[in-house]
Amino acid sequence: MDFPPPLIERLRTVRRIVVFTGAGVSAESGIPTYRDKLTGLWERFDPEDLDTRRAFKADPELVWGWYEWRRRNVMQSEPNAAHRAIAAMANHVPELTVVTQNIDDLHERAGSVAPVHLHGTLFQPRCIGCARPHALPPGMPDEVEQVVGYRLAPPRCGHCGGRIRPGVVWFGERLPRDVWRRADMAVRRCEVILCIGTSSVVYPAAELPLVAARRGAVLVQINPESTGLERVAQFNLAGQAGEVMPALFEAVWAQGQPG
């Protein structure tokens, strides 16, 4: 794979980088993106109808069942070559921050340290009443196998008896302030931002690459399709993240080095 020499040169000396990821970085691990048609039990639902506080209030079993099904899907998946290349880059760049819109844990499992989860995670549910975190039992959620009529009752909070909700940011909810602050600070400081596998249409997350670009960062997009970011990106690398990222890593950091 050939990359523009100015991009390779820039990356060789970069000190602060943000890797901004969306559903596309996990697609090759078998986790469907939001634009992909839903499969299995959930085929007949529009995800936007499952991803709101109102939907949870109206039908907690439906929404909890959907999230437990997704959590199981993630637990059965493995990080791919893109997640691994991103984790490896951190050994070569003094300051690398992964900012992800994904609620899976594949960046962590590939070895990235403390990725910023803008939209929360599947693994830290909390009480809808008192907001205390709720510890999920270890291992796979087996009961998803027995989901009947798409429904699974959410556990109850040990403290107040309220229903446990997924630890994700739903449509219409604010991003947690500390999470947003970390992401905002990283994009303001970075010299290069790699935007991988995101359609970049959901705000405020989609604002982050634009902030970086306005402050002079080099914006690089990795995506097989065109997106709204194309106009602002200095470099558009068209392709699958699992192919482009390891090749880019190789071209910048692995060549000419022993071993």
Question: Which of ligand NAD, Zn ion, none binds 47 (CB below 5-8 Å, type-dependent)?
Answer: ligand NAD
Q: Residue 99 — φ and ψ, nearest 5°? A: -115, 115
Cβ-based nearer residue to ligand NAD, 30 or 133: 30
What is the Cα–Cα distance from 238 to 250, expressed in whole angstroms? Answer: 17
Instruction: Please report the beta strands in the chain, taking only residues with DSSP state E, as ranges in sequence order.
Output: 16-21, 95-100, 116-117, 126-127, 164-165, 192-196, 218-222, 235-237
Verify binding: residue 224, ligand NAD, rule CB under 6 A. Answer: yes
Which of 35, 54, 132, 159 is in the footprint of ligand NAD by CB under 6 A?
35
Query: In this structure, what token pair is assigned to residue 147?
Result: 């989901």
Query: In sequence order, which residues have a C-beta less than 8 Å from that of residue 207 and are 6 or more positions away?
Result: none
Question: Which of Zn ion, ligand NAD, none binds 111 (CB below 5-8 Å, type-dependent)?
Answer: none
If one counts every other C-beta atom within 10 angstroms of the C-beta of residue 54, the result is 12
Cβ-based nearer residue to Zn ion, 141 or 162: 162
Q: By CB under 5 A, which span of 6-14, 20-28, 72-80, 151-159 interacts with Zn ion?
A: 151-159
Cβ-based nearer residue to ligand NAD, 106 or 157: 106
Which of 3, 34, 45, 180 is in the footprint of ligand NAD by CB under 6 A?
34
Q: Which residue among the candidates 107, 119, 134, 159 is catalytic per the annotation?
A: 119
Closest CA to 199 of 80, 35, 31: 35
Peptide bond into 204 cis (omega under 30): yes
Which of 15, 54, 57, 159 is in the footprint of Zn ion by CB under 5 A?
159
Q: Which positions lie near ligand NAD, rule CB under 6 A?
A: 22-24, 27-28, 33-35, 47-48, 51, 101, 119, 197-199, 202, 222-225, 227, 240-241
- Give catalytic residue positions: 119
